[in-house]
């Protein structure tokens, strides 16, 4: 029932509620409206560590790649996207994804930012590139060994070998462990027999499968056994299976078909694949984490089937990081269009004055767009931190080393949470941008329809968001169990708070702040502190996370006394999703705070600090029922929260063009007639 514009009541209607910001030292006394930040300096901050990648793309990507293509037929869009992919490969930005021994330039962070930045342009191309270089070639890089790398990666990198990543099936998307496709080893011929047992086991939604892919990385249950052993299911493995010949026709035993028209991303040819006992040599198994000997014996350095499964999937985490980044890039573009239009468009005479009112002067319009802008900026910093974390874990691997298992696990959870939050944000923000541009937002020439349609599936692919958040919650519960064994309720509460604060200290490098937090009674609340106090803001987020997780555990324990299995987790499923979400929100705020702390004092830092206020407070405002229910804020303070958000919107309203400039989107890329 909630859309971005049909939101629950947010009205500070009580005359007793403060309607202006309370003073908070020199910074808060100064209205954000008067800060004179330099757009270029702001851009440099928002570009982050891999700014050179963004600059390179700004300099080389043809502007026409950013113009809508949704007036073209499906076939035309596909042909154009295929062409552009080859062009893109010539520019070489994707080479950062690959090890140097196959001609790559091996920079994980750079390759992630390259993908992200493509999201400002043609999203069909972005996804097609993601399929070819990221999923297809990336899984050969991550799950294969030297022979696979040398044999296949050069062709994958220059697109002379178009490929696909055949994981999802019609009957199994989120539940990869239950995939139905089988790969049975035949020791007699030394071949793996790849087969689709039933209709629901057919591969589905596979990018590149309808038309272009000649080779597929197929995820299947590997069934094999050594001499004299009963063949056994060794779990899901990846196997290279040729799909089409040079003539583009399906090879014997392979039947591809077309998923047809989609809501968006019609430049990508998604399709279905059915295998009828297709035989491939044993060497086609991507065998980094599990090997089949000629006699059928299975071996792996990883102890359990479960460990192999999670290691295999963990190696593919980059895809999720990239999707969140691409979603944010598209969101930046949509925000830039809607905010710029809102500066130029007027409607209705101004009461008591000449002329008409500019859209962005309306409070409802500010309310619709500015919190979303603030959040887009905050998520950008969080995405940068996630990219750095990905780089720290995977760069070693790309250079021939081994990933740290604990760091890998932490990364997976961060990536899952961030992907869910960033893609839902994209869906909501692009929708709001469309509506805020009225009829103009519905015309293809203004690009918003394409941005909306193309990004809509981001909440689904690379992991359904609701499922991903449950994965995050399970990680939190495991961490909780490990840390708090034997503690009573109060002990647990204290421990969680301390842990959260420790993490905070490490991540923000603002130890003094954390120290101050720790000194405050974590269950108490001092309402004399202004809402603009960063300590108060971060404490609210940390306390919420701790409290939600603790009560989740308590509920699960109570339920486990009378219910079992599915009933227990299902009864608290929404609570689990909440735990994951508030965890992600804390991390985002910390990234934002940390990015601000890293800047020297000056107008850019000051402006970003006000933007962070709006981001955090509008988030707390949305969730204020939860805080009220638990007595963390008083009704009076809750109303003050609403009033403060209104005030921050008004203060930041004159800064929107500076902030949009911070996104650094070349003007010729905007592709919207209304802002041309």
Q: Which of 20, 90, 564, 601 binds a second copy (CB under 8 A)?
A: 564
350-409 binders of a second copy (CB under 8 A) = 350-353, 356-357, 361-364, 367-368, 371-372, 375
Could you tell me the smallest distance in angstroms from the CB atom of residue 235 to a second copy?
Answer: 15
| Nearer of residues 204 and 212 to a second copy, judged by Cβ | 204
Q: Which of 36, 197, 570, 666 binds a second copy (CB under 8 A)?
A: 570
73-92 binders of a second copy (CB under 8 A) = 73-74
| Nearer of residues 175 and 399 to a second copy, judged by Cβ | 175
Residue 120: closest CA among 535, 672, 674, 676: 672
Residue 639: closest CA among 22, 15, 6, 23: 15
Residue 339: closest CA among 292, 371, 383: 371
The Cα 94–Cα 135 span in angstroms is 12
By the rule CB under 8 A, 259 interacts with a second copy = yes
By the rule CB under 8 A, 630 interacts with a second copy = yes
| Nearer of residues 87 and 571 to a second copy, judged by Cβ | 571
Applying CB under 8 A, what is the total number of residues that bind a second copy? Answer: 115
Tokens standing for residue 431? 């929708």
Q: Do 588 and 611 touch, CB atoms closer than 8 A?
A: no
| Nearer of residues 93 and 264 to a second copy, judged by Cβ | 264
Residue 185: closest CA among 238, 139, 232: 232
Q: Do 647 and 20 touch, CB atoms closer than 8 A?
A: yes
Q: Do 534 and 508 touch, CB atoms closer than 8 A?
A: no
By the rule CB under 8 A, 261 interacts with a second copy = yes
5-64 binders of a second copy (CB under 8 A) = 5-11, 13-15
Q: Which of 638, 644, 651, 655 binds a second copy (CB under 8 A)?
A: 638
| Nearer of residues 245 and 349 to a second copy, judged by Cβ | 349
Q: Do 78 and 269 touch, CB atoms closer than 8 A?
A: yes
The Cα 273–Cα 202 span in angstroms is 6
Q: What secondary structure does DSSP assign to 484-552, as a single string?
A: HTT--HHHHHHHHHHHHHHHHHHHH--HHHHHHHHHS-TT---TTS-TT-HHHHHHHHHHHHHHHHHHH
412-471 binders of a second copy (CB under 8 A) = 421, 424-425, 427-429, 431, 434-435, 438-439, 441-445, 448-449, 452-453, 456-457, 459-461, 464-466
Per CB under 8 A, the segment of 213-221, 315-323, 496-504, 553-561 that binds a second copy is: 553-561
585-604 binders of a second copy (CB under 8 A) = none
By the rule CB under 8 A, 347 interacts with a second copy = yes
| Nearer of residues 428 and 518 to a second copy, judged by Cβ | 428
> Phi, psi (5° rounding) for residue 223?
-115, 115
Q: Do 360 and 352 touch, CB atoms closer than 8 A?
A: no
Could you tell me the smallest distance in angstroms from the CB atom of residue 392 to a second copy?
Answer: 28
By the rule CB under 8 A, 626 interacts with a second copy = yes
Could you tell me the smallest distance in angstroms from the CB atom of residue 367 to a second copy?
Answer: 6
Could you tell me the smallest distance in angstroms from the CB atom of residue 576 to a second copy?
Answer: 9
The Cα 107–Cα 112 span in angstroms is 9
By the rule CB under 8 A, 569 interacts with a second copy = yes
Q: Do 324 and 418 touch, CB atoms closer than 8 A?
A: yes
By the rule CB under 8 A, 574 interacts with a second copy = yes
């Amino acid at each position: 029932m909630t859309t971005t514009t049909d939101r629950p009541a947010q009205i500070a209607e009580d005359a007793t509620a403060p309607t202006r910001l309370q003073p908070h030292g020199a910074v808060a006394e100064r209205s954000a409206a008067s800060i004179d930040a330099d757009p270029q300096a702001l851009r440099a901050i928002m570009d982050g560590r891999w700014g050179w990648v963004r600059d390179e793309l700004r300099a080389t990507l043809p502007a026409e790649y950013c113009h809508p293509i949704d007036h073209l037929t499906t076939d035309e869009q596909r042909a154009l996207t295929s062409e552009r992919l080859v062009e893109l490969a010539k520019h070489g930005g994707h080479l950062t994804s690959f090890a140097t021994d196959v001609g790559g330039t091996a920079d994980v962070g750079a390759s992630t930012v390259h993908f992200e930045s493509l999201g400002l342009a043609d999203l069909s191309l972005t996804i097609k590139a993601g399929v070819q270089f990221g999923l297809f070639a990336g899984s050969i890089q991550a799950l294969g060994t030297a022979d696979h790398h040398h044999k296949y990666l050069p062709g994958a990198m220059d697109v002379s070998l178009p490929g696909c990543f055949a994981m999802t099936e019609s009957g199994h998307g989120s539940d990869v462990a239950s995939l139905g496709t089988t790969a049975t080893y035949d020791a007699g011929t030394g071949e793996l027999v790849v087969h689709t047992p039933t209709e629901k086991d057919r591969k589905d939604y596979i990018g590149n499968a309808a038309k272009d892919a000649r080779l597929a990385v197929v995820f299947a249950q590997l069934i094999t056994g050594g001499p004299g052993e009963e063949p056994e299911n060794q779990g899901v493995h990846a196997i290279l299976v040729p799909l089409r010949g040079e003539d583009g026709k399906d090879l014997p035993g392979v039947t591809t078909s077309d998923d047809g028209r989609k809501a968006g991303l019609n430049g990508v040819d998604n399709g279905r694949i059915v295998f009828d006992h297709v035989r491939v040599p044993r060497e086609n198994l991507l065998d980094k984490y599990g090997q089949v000997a000629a006699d059928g014996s299975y071996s792996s350095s990883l102890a359990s089937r479960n460990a192999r499964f999670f290691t295999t999937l963990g190696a593919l985490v980059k895809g999720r990081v990239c999707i969140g980044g691409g979603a944010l890039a598209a969101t930046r573009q949509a925000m830039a269009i809607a905010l710029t239009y809102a500066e130029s468009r007027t409607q209705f005479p101004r009461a008591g004055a000449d002329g008409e009112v500019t859209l962005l002067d309306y409070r409802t319009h500010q309310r619709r767009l500015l919190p979303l802008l603030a959040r887009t900026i905050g998520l950008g910093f969080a995405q940068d931190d996630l990219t750095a974390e990905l780089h720290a874990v995977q760069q070693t691997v790309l250079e021939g080393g081994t990933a740290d298992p604990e760091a890998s696990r932490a990364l997976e959870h961060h990536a899952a949470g961030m992907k869910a939050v960033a893609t839902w944000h994209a869906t909501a923000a692009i929708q709001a941008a469309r509506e805020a541009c009225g009829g103009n937002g519905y015309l293809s020439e203004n690009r918003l329809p394409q941005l909306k349609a193309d990004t809509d599936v981001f909440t689904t692919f690379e992991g359904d968001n609701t499922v991903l958040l449950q994965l995050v919650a399970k990680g939190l519960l495991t961490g909780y169990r490990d840390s708090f064994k034997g503690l009573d309720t109060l002990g647990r509460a204290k421990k969680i708070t301390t842990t959260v604060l420790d993490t905070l200290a490490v991540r923000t490098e603002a130890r003094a702040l954390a120290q101050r937090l720790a000194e405050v009674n974590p269950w108490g609340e001092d309402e004399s502190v202004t809402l603009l106090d960063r300590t108060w803001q971060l404490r609210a987020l940390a306390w919420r996370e701790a409290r939600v997780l603790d009560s989740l555990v308590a509920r699960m324990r109570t339920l486990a006394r009378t219910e079992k299995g599915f009933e227990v987790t299902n009864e608290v499923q929404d609570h689990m999703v909440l735990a994951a979400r508030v965890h992600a929100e804390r991390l985002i705020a910390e990234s934002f705070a940390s990015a601000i702390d890293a800047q020297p004092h000056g107008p850019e830092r000051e402006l970003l600090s006000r933007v962070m206020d709006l981001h955090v407070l509008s988030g707390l405002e949305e969730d204020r029922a939860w805080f009220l229910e638990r007595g963390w804020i008083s009704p009076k303070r809750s109303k003050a929260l609403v009033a403060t958000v209104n005030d921050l919107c008004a203060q930041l309203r004159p800064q929107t063009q500076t902030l949009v400039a911070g996104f650094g989107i070349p003007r010729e890329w905007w592709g919207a007639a209304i802002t041309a």
